[in-house]
Structure 1
Amino acid sequence: MAHNKSAKSYTLLTTAVVAIAYIICLQPALPAQAQNLSVSDNDRYLVKEDGSPFFWLGDTAWELFHRLDREEATRYLENRAAKGFTVIQAVVLAELDGLATPNPYGNIPLADHDPTQPNESYFEHVDFIVDKAEALGLYIGMLPTWGDKFNRKWGEGPEIFTPPNARDFGAFLGRRYKDDPIIWIMGGDRNPETEQHHEIIHAMAQGIQQGDDGTHLMTYHPQGGSNSSQWFHDAEWLDFNMFQSGHGKVDNKNYRMTLSNYQKSPVKPALDGEPCYEDHPVSWDPENGWFHAFDVRQAAYWSMLTGALGHTYGNHNIWQMWESGREPVSSARTPWYEAMDYPGAFQMKHLRTLFTSRPFNKLIPDQELIAKDPLQGAAPARAASARDNSFALIYVPHGQSLDIDLSMFDNHIVKASWFNPRMGKSIHLKSFKAQQVHSFDPPADPRRGNDWVLVIDKEEVEYPPVR
């Protein structure tokens, strides 16, 4: 049965819930039901139906549909909405034995592992979560399946998809969620390695578009170190690129992958859909240490200032919804309901606050702003400027002093401030006339993790101060 939400009583209830969420949540999204997404006119960002820019702030909750009951899912979604997230990335046919291990209500997704025989009871639970997300102003970045179901290079599997049943399954999902705030994400941590893999992926994507009349955006989530543009940049169904910078090393310069996408033709938006996770062991080995809040901040600002449409955060404990009694994957160590309030998640709200305080859709990468950076090789600052020269943002990961070329402001009076991405507060500097190169020294001593964002505004534009 299609997931139909046209009843008047349901609409009134949804409207009421969204109104409450708007009041109690900091910077909530507008009701997703009324705001379908599309690619912007300049092909760099996403926009809502009313033309306003959409800021993708994602969270990887891969096991959400599979492992959380309705009360738990509500708790998780409310937490994410309150922190300013806008997209929840979750998988229908989940990674962790998602075909054979039932959800909390004893339901598995398919009869006999057959994609043409979906289990209505399982999908009613998915419906509940999709509805709850919509009521909170959240979009679901929905992966039809984890990649081991078509390419079992590792993981549980089994491989169940062929091109015909992939098309059928895609059409089923497309019809069911046609009227919901969905962004489709093909793949699931796998790269296509054979012609059969390519055929399955294309068939599933085409099935979804057949089912939902092409009303939702679509991308592809590859495995670590890979980029959707390697295989699908020219695919008609791929609206924007997604890459996974992954969890393999500290100070992974993910902006290189963002920039690679930015420079491709035809132009398509792009983002890092799985960067290093907070509280993930570096290269999957606790002896190498763990990724912390600074690591996720650095990945976010590096990518955003190289032209990304938005960014996805992740926490190692949350993607797998780990808690006591479950086998931890790769040394997960904190219950998901505690990990929701790790510092990096709060700090992603500051990322959104900063970028949405300005018309971020005007930003273009602009490294020429940085005349001198003593850590250019190791921990480089990244810069972007507005197309109309009204403002610029420069991220400084280690608090190093910089020389900034201000010629873009053409001798206008500018306002500058240091935005603290850990606290979401700004230190405002005196206005001055922008003449050629100016030196800026961030607060405190230079060290790893003393990161700041230099915000420079043309004073006459009167952008609001960021806190």
Structure 2
Amino acid sequence: MKPLFTKFISALLGVMIVLGGVSLRAQEEQGLTAEVWNRVDVVLQSEKKYDNPYKDVQIDAVFTHESGKTISLYGFWYGGDEWRVRFSPTLTGVWEYTVTCTDEENAGLHNVKGKIIATENTGNTMIDRHGFIKVSDNGRYFVYDDGTPFFWLGDTNWQAPNYVTMSSCNYPGCKCGNQFLHELYDRLSKGFTVYQTYFDGGETDGGGQRGVTSEPSMWTKKYTKIDPDTFKNKFDVMFDMLAASGMVIALGFGVHSSTVQAMSSEDLCALSRYLTARYASYPVVWITAQEITGDPQFDRWLESARVTDAGDGYDHPATAHQYPLEANDSFVKRLGAEEWHDFYALQNGHGPRIPSKSTYKGYYENKHSSGKKPFVETEANYEDIYCGGFNGYEASRIAAWKAVLCGSCGFTYGVTGVWANCWSTTGSTGWLGTYSTEPWYMGIKKPGSFEMKYMAQFFGYVGFERLIPRFSSSSYSDFRSDDKVVASSGDGDTYVAYFYNTDQSTGKLKGLDGSKKYSVRWYDPKTGKYIDEADAKIEGGVYVIPEKPDGGDWVLLVTSLDLGPYETEPKRSVDSSASKNLIRGAEARSSSQSTGGSAAAMAVDGRQDTWWCASDNSFPQWLTFDMKEPVTFNAFYLQMYAGTRSVSYTVQGSNDGEKWTAIIEADNEPTSAGDCTVGGRLKDEQTYRYLRVDFSSVTGNWAAVVEVFVYRYEGVDRQNFKGQEQTPGVTCIGSSRYTEAGMLKETASKLFDGNLSKEWKPFAAEATQTIILDMYEKKTVYGLEMIMGADSVLPEYRIEGSGDGKDWFILADATVRPINSATENGRNVLFEELSGQYRYIKVIIMGAQSGDSVKTIAEMKLYAEGPTAAVPEGTDLSALTSLYKTCARLKNKKAGYDGGKYRNMLAALVNAHGVISGGGDQAAADAALKNHQTAYDVLMGKEPETTDATDTDPAGTEPPSTDGGEKPGASGKKTAIIAAAVTAAAVAAAITAALIRKKRKK
């Protein structure tokens, strides 16, 4: 399959769309035809030779619509004696253009005139239907050209054009042969709308993939001559695929000081001009470069951005990616004062500490810029990144929800391996093992990416554009701490609150209209489902919010509107004793405290934005607590400050403050991922009034405690589950690793081999892992046991069930209460009682915080009704294979290809790729084949079979519009479509528009 599919990709994407079968004079008289929001290249042939055509001569073009609207663009050298101007019409009707050249003696490039007939867009993506994005009139968010709100859900793919490959794929078991398409399809299936990337212009950074996959350089001579073949055969193909799929491309040209120190000012400006010329006609926003707000790079990148602005006749939204800075920082002020600057691309950094409300409030109020500007959180808390501490996975979800409810008009997600372009578990360079703990194929399916989809679905449902962040205003809530956030609509009909505090406490909403009926429901950000509450009782405009369903993070929706249908999940039973922190509010003392005022009492105040910290990094240090009366408990936790890797400590108890008894003695205990905790459930119940914690050493930080937790947890007893033991199919990409010789090794099969001496072991102990069990048919489940490895830590976990592998329900969650554990034959056993009917069971094992930790499982036992079902037959891809063979011969045909139809073919290809890469069952394969066959038939001029609207959506992104209104770009004047025959070139970039060779009229 791999050689065939690779051949198909190279052949299909090698099709060049050019006018053919019509005389040159007729071409000049009739002009080009293109759909609005879709690209067309005006092709020019130089009559002179240049030593360096990349830099020795420049062309510019002005396109004028019949209405008088103009779009000015740069042109670019395409290779050989060919130059091009790439254009996407924004209105239907006639566009006339004039191309000028810095070498006025070159008749092939100077004063060239022609026309383009723009027709309505026939595509089905949101960009096809609504146009490029821009800043809304109120300056708060983005909209498509016709005013439809655009929610920014970005995925971080730094330096993807340079280092992500389109010629191979090492995802275990995948035969697609294309890493880029594999990643793209996954993100499209989860509703991502922005592909955030930049060129490594200096080829000086590269992260984890530079030099690993033998990707071609963008330069034939650094930094004075680009390699046109790399742009034709790779970069353009990538960008065409993104555009055909409806993705907005957030594009930069380099990275902080690395690029500017490698390239001269002249060379960087030349590259900026070239990339602007080549990609301004795509659905882009400009982010200039990563991390420009520092010296020595700042002024150089401002110069680059001005070059882009001068050549972008579409006025795409423009910004520059920042370092973590407050709104009143001098660099931010200077950036905001630039005429081209349209919005702020924030970076609030990494680590479990979530950015504060005050940081976002500074940008929301826009005190240092003219008028209001939107902002987007474009880099915060990548999932499973190691950067001054280990994030874990929950930090990404929390950062996203908080950012949007504090005014960010979206969020850019990032995950280990993908943001860093780490290729494999061996032979890689750069960030693997430093910032990024795993390669891309382990990161692509992390749970956080699914939770981004749920977040975007929620804000689409409630209308994110209507929400106004209320920060800590007492007019709208009594939320003062940073872990409780609220936003509401301007007319007060809808409130959205987000709680990521670790207990079940909530608060009050204020300013509600007592004459209205408000429905109330909780939204689970981990599943995308709602739990209904009783209608709100409003007294004096105040609503007292009930407790959260459990101690995890939850979203509350209070609205008087009928927002439409929604999916619910049952309210999970919660042991209330596990959510009541018995030590909160205790009288606290410490050996020392920092000069910043981090007093001992802050370790028991119930807040995530305060903490106790010792005065320096010396040891020993201690904390004591007086709970005023004896308290019975069986679980004790210390939540350490972000970045803490391990803790050596003891816990003692006393009832008189003089005689102390040891409870816990821990030496270099690693902290857990996400919330950075140590401790756990105790073997026996303890009853004490006083508690004392002594620290003898801490790695990664000073002695600093965010919160102390003491629980009396009832839990469940070890039990024999009903049903029969199953032998399911097991998938865990996180334990699939490549050897130096390129052999794939995995340990997931050891989970059900009956041999305790052979253990499942992930590649990265500190990272979150997902294990999926397939019972091959839907059946009643009763319980799951995990017999841990001999030296393994006891990780937190979550267990979910699904009937179809897509719609998941939480069955047990040990991230919000202590784990259920017992000892059996000298080994720790984790166990959970399950209920319901499911085919798939997903076990998410939380990270161990430290790469030195051992996190292994010797055996799993899954109990369900009846014996293990037979393994179903695999997906039949023979028909798709036959279609691939047909398409692979396209380049040898002299048939014509229309730009919009070719665009639809590319979109269908992306959807079909999901099946090829193992992303669908037989029904999905059949649907992909149907869409692909339809797109192919239309491209070849055949009449397609009549299908449902959703079946003809090639990208699977959104069904066609049913509002009957005009698409954006319609001029109001009906224009005849000029049919043009086109011919396929043998080797060229895949451009989704018609091309023409133009000569100067005599």
TM over 0.5: yes
The reply on whether 1:272 has 2:377 as its aligned counterpart is yes
Q: Which structure shows the higher helix fraction? A: 1
SS in 1 for 2:379: coil
Match of residue 74, structure 1, among 175, 181, 187: 181
How far does residue 418 in structure 1 lie from its aligned partner after superposition? 0.3
Amino acid at match of 1:72: Q
Q: Which residue of 1 aligns with 2:526?
A: 422
Asked whether the 8 Å contact 2:380–2:399 carries over to 1, the reply is yes
Q: 1:356-383: CA deviations, max 9, x gaps?
A: 112211211113366445xx44x52110
SS in 2 for 1:402: coil
How far does residue 267 in structure 1 lie from its aligned partner after superposition? 1.1
Judged with a 3 Å threshold, the aligned counterparts in structure 2 of structure 1 residues 354 and 413 are, in CA distance, closer, same or farther, namely same
Counterpart CA distance in 1 for 2:128 and 2:359 is: 29
How far does residue 425 in structure 1 lie from its aligned partner after superposition? 0.6
Match of residue 234, structure 1, among 330, 337, 347: 337
Match of residue 89, structure 1, among 196, 199, 205: 196
Matches within 5 A, 1:131-146: 131-146=240-255
Match of residue 210, structure 1, among 307, 310, 320: 310
Counterpart CA distance in 1 for 2:375 and 2:87 is: 31
How far does residue 98 in structure 1 lie from its aligned partner after superposition? 5.2
Counterpart CA distance in 1 for 2:413 and 2:155 is: 5
Q: Which structure shows the higher strand fraction? A: 2
The reply on whether 1:352 has 2:453 as its aligned counterpart is no
How far does residue 138 in structure 1 lie from its aligned partner after superposition? 0.8
Judged with a 3 Å threshold, the aligned counterparts in structure 2 of structure 1 residues 372 and 255 are, in CA distance, closer, same or farther, namely closer
Asked whether the 8 Å contact 2:198–2:252 carries over to 1, the reply is yes
Counterpart CA distance in 2 for 1:326 and 1:130 is: 26
The reply on whether 1:122 has 2:230 as its aligned counterpart is yes
SS in 2 for 1:140: strand
Amino acid at match of 1:351: M
Q: Which residue of 1 aligns with 2:808?
A: none
Gaps of at least 5 residues in structure 1 are 8-14, 20-28, 152-157
**More RCO (CA 8 Å, sep 6+):** 2
The reply on whether 1:186 has 2:288 as its aligned counterpart is yes
Counterpart CA distance in 1 for 2:314 and 2:490 is: 31
Counterpart CA distance in 2 for 1:401 and 1:47 is: 37
The reply on whether 1:296 has 2:396 as its aligned counterpart is yes
Gaps of at least 5 residues in structure 2 are 1-77, 79-83, 90-120, 167-177, 568-1002
Counterpart CA distance in 2 for 1:186 and 1:304 is: 23
How far does residue 294 in structure 1 lie from its aligned partner after superposition? 1.6
Counterpart CA distance in 2 for 1:101 and 1:420 is: 39
How far does residue 118 in structure 1 lie from its aligned partner after superposition? 2.1
Amino acid at match of 1:213: G
Asked whether the 8 Å contact 1:258–1:306 carries over to 2, the reply is yes
Matches within 5 A, 1:26-425: 30-31=126-127, 35-70=131-166, 71-93=178-200, 97=204, 104=213, 106-114=215-223, 116-124=224-232, 125-151=234-260, 158-162=261-265, 164-194=266-296, 197-225=297-325, 229-247=332-350, 249-265=351-367, 266-283=371-388, 288=389, 290-322=390-422, 323-324=424-425, 325-329=427-431, 330-366=434-470, 367=472, 368=474, 371-373=477-479, 376-377=480-481, 379-398=482-501, 400-425=504-529
Amino acid at match of 1:93: D
How far does residue 437 in structure 1 lie from its aligned partner after superposition? 2.5
How far does residue 453 in structure 1 lie from its aligned partner after superposition? 0.5
SS in 2 for 1:93: coil
TM-score by length of 2: 0.40
How far does residue 51 in structure 1 lie from its aligned partner after superposition? 0.6
How far does residue 44 in structure 1 lie from its aligned partner after superposition? 0.6
How far does residue 183 in structure 1 lie from its aligned partner after superposition? 1.0
SS in 2 for 1:296: helix
How far does residue 159 in structure 1 lie from its aligned partner after superposition? 2.4
Amino acid at match of 2:338: A
Q: 1:186-214: CA deviations, max 9, x gaps?
A: 131232325xx444223211221222224
Counterpart CA distance in 2 for 1:235 and 1:54 is: 24
TM-score by length of 1: 0.84
Counterpart CA distance in 2 for 1:109 and 1:166 is: 14
Counterpart CA distance in 2 for 1:420 and 1:452 is: 6
Amino acid at match of 2:225: Q
CA RMSD of aligned residues (A): 2.7
Instruction: Point out the structure with max Rg over C-alpha.
Output: 2
Asked whether the 8 Å contact 1:393–1:453 carries over to 2, the reply is yes
Amino acid at match of 2:542: V
Counterpart CA distance in 1 for 2:217 and 2:461 is: 44
Amino acid at match of 1:428: D
Amino acid at match of 2:283: P
SS in 2 for 1:73: helix
Matches within 5 A, 1:4-19: 4=86, 19=124
SS in 1 for 2:143: strand
How far does residue 133 in structure 1 lie from its aligned partner after superposition? 0.9
Amino acid at match of 2:455: L
How far does residue 387 in structure 1 lie from its aligned partner after superposition? 1.2
Asked whether the 8 Å contact 1:32–1:137 carries over to 2, the reply is yes
Judged with a 3 Å threshold, the aligned counterparts in structure 2 of structure 1 residues 234 and 342 are, in CA distance, closer, same or farther, namely same
Judged with a 3 Å threshold, the aligned counterparts in structure 2 of structure 1 residues 261 and 463 are, in CA distance, closer, same or farther, namely same
